[in-house]
Structures are given as structure tokens and as C-alpha cells.
Structure 1
């Protein structure tokens, strides 16, 4: 019997690719008087390249940008702080996010989240999506001092919800960190499709978040 649904955040609930593009576009506009010697398209493209889909933290990204583009009117530290302060205002959800969570709530499912990243930054983004109240448990790797795919963070999430790992479904976009990490502790792993991955081995695959409801109903 499935009792709990757990989610990754970035690339699963938060459309991080679109959010990052929007943020970079608006950051350039806000700081044009400091970055105007770079064309917007070049700035956005290089920012996204260096970000490497979130696997390179922004201190390194901004250091590299400042060096490459010979930025002298603003420091990389100030650019990083701008990112920390402003990114939450550009969070783009995947379609049907709130509707899907509302349907899970109606089904009396326990709902949890495990996300790698920095604690306050990730919580700011969760609040920006207006989804915090749907979750009975949210684990962020910085605060837990452990990150996916380590099995301990998955087991800890199940414990906090008061269920066994075998009573959980975990949905995420990363084949190793999310799907395989969940399967390693006995959870059902569901892959949220992502264009950068091909031929992923998962028990279930979803494209639209509403597809999750059919899986839940089948497993119950």
C-alpha cells in the first residue's frame, strides 16, 4: 500500500531551465549599467552554460563571468548576492503543479520533498511556488548534512512521514540521484522526463505532473 509521495524540486516541480533563463534576462536588465559592454544574448547563454544545469554553484559561475567578460563595475560577490536575493522572483512551475498537489491532498496522501541544495535558497523557491503548505516534510541536503543519492536521506524522509520506504513513491528528474537513489532503499522510483537523458530505466515515467495521479491510483 502506497501511503506517501515524495518529490525532488529542481527539474521536477520547479522548471529550473525556464526559471534560470528568465532570471538571467532580468538580471542583465537590472544591472545593464554595469554589464552593458556584454550583449544580453551572450551574457545569458554563457551564464546558462557555466551553470551546468545547477551542478556548478554560482560563486564559480560569477567568478568565471567576471573574468571572461572583464567586468569591473561590479564584483562576482555582488552578482552572487543578487542571485540569492532575486532568483525566487523568477521561479517558474511546471504545468499543473498546484492542481496535482491539490489532487494528492484530496486522496489523503502524505507528501514530502527531498532536494539537494542550500537550505534557505531552496526554501525561498518553494515558498515562491506557493507549495510549502502541501508538504508534511521537506528535507534540504545542506540542512540534513547529506544529499541524494545517499540512501540515508531517503530513509530519513520516510521516517519523518512515519512510513516505510516500501510505502513511498519518489518522483524526480535525475536518473541516479532521484530514481535509482529511491529504488536503492525500496521506494518506487518515478522518472520525470528530462530532455538531457535518454533510455532511462524506471518503473514509471511521467511527462506531465498530472500523470502522477494515475500512478498513485494504480498503486493504491
Structure 2
């Protein structure tokens, strides 16, 4: 019997690409007196390139931007602090996020979340999406001292939810850090499709979060039938 569903955050529940794009455009507009010598589209495009979909922390991104664009009116540290303070105000979820979580919770499934990243920053984003209270456990890599794909962070979440791996599903967008890592500890992996990858070996694949409740319902019925 499936008893728990654990989620990744960025690229799975949070539409990070669109959130970053909105943030960086607004940052430029807010700071135009300090950045006005740079074409806006060039600033936005270069930030997105250097950010590498979140896999490069922003201290390095802003140091590079300050150097490349010869920014002298504001420091990279101040730009970074603006990012830390303001990103949460630009969080965009994928469609059907709240209704999906509501339905899973109504079906008596324990819900958890595991995300790599900075602790308070990620918690601010989770709260901004309005989803904090849906999860019985939330593990952020900085606070845990381990990160995906380390199996220990998955096992820690399972222990906190008091479920075994074969009673659990992990939903994520990264083929290795999410799907393969979860499968390696004995969980089923559902891949939230991302244009960056093809031919991902997942137990199930979804385009939309709204597809999850039915998949999980059918899976629970199949497992019960064969028990």
C-alpha cells in the first residue's frame, strides 16, 4: 500500500524557470538607475545563462555579471542580497499544485518534501507558494548536511514519515538526483517532465501535476489487489 508521496521543489512544484525570469526582469527595473547602461534583455539573458537553472549559486553569478557588465554603482554582494530578499515575491507554481496536494491529503497520504539548496531561502519559497502546511516533513539540503542524490536524505524523510521505501513515491524533475536516487532506495519514481531530458527511466511520467492523484490512486489499488 502506498502511504506517502515525497516531492522535489524546484522544477517540480515551483516553476523555477518562469520565477527566475520574472525576478531578474523586476530586479533590473528596480535597480535601473544602477544598471541602466546595460540593455535589459542582455542582463536577463546573461543571468539565466550563468544561473544554469539553479545549479550555480548566485554569488558566482553576480560576481560574473559585475565583471562582464562593468557594474560599479552596486556591488555583487548587494545584488545577491536583493536576490535573497526578493526572489520569494516572484515564485510561480506549476498548474494544479494546490488542488493536487489537497486531493492527495484527502486520500490520507502523508506528504513530504526534499529540496537541495539554502535552508531559509527554500523555506521562504515554499511559504510563498502557500504549501508549507501540506507537508509533514520538509528537508532542505543545507540544514540536513546532505543533499540529493545521497540516499541518506531520502531515508531520513522516510523515517520521519514512518513509512518504508516500498510504501512511498518520489516526484521530481531531475532524472538522476530525483528519480534514479529515489528508485535506488526502493521508492517508486514519478518524473515531472522537463524539456532538458529525454528517455528518462521512471515508473511513471507526468506533464501536469493534476495527473498525479489518479496515477497514485490506480497504483494503490493495484498494490492492494496483489497483496
TM-score (norm 1): 0.99
Q: How does 1:165-184 map to 2 (within 5 A)?
A: 165-184=165-184
Query: Is 1:129 aligned to 2:129, yes or no?
Result: yes
2:152 paired residue number: 152
Q: Per-residue CA shift, 1:20-40, capped at 9, x if unaligned?
A: 000000000000000000011
Provide the C-alpha distance between the structure 2 equivalents of 1:31 and 1:115, rounded to a whole number of angstroms.
30
| Aligned residue pairs, count | 220
Provide the C-alpha distance between the structure 1 equivalents of 2:98 and 2:55, rounded to a whole number of angstroms.
27
Pairwise CA distance, 1:209: 0.1
Query: Is 1:26 aligned to 2:19, yes or no?
Result: no
2:225 paired residue number: none
1:198 paired residue number: 198
Provide the C-alpha distance between the structure 2 equivalents of 1:65 and 1:137, rounded to a whole number of angstroms.
37
Pairwise CA distance, 1:161: 0.3
1:49 paired residue number: 49
1:67 paired residue number: 67
Provide the C-alpha distance between the structure 1 equivalents of 2:40 and 2:198, rounded to a whole number of angstroms.
32
Provide the C-alpha distance between the structure 2 equivalents of 1:80 and 1:33, rounded to a whole number of angstroms.
17
SS at match of 1:211: helix
Provide the C-alpha distance between the structure 2 equivalents of 1:25 and 1:208, rounded to a whole number of angstroms.
26
Q: Give the CA RMSD over aligned residues.
A: 0.4
Pairwise CA distance, 1:158: 0.3
Provide the C-alpha distance between the structure 1 equivalents of 2:215 and 2:118, rounded to a whole number of angstroms.
31
2:210 paired residue number: 210
2:35 paired residue number: 35
**Structure 1 consecutive aligned stretches of length 4 or more whose deviation exceeds 4 Å:** none
Pairwise CA distance, 1:137: 0.4
TM-score (norm 2): 0.96
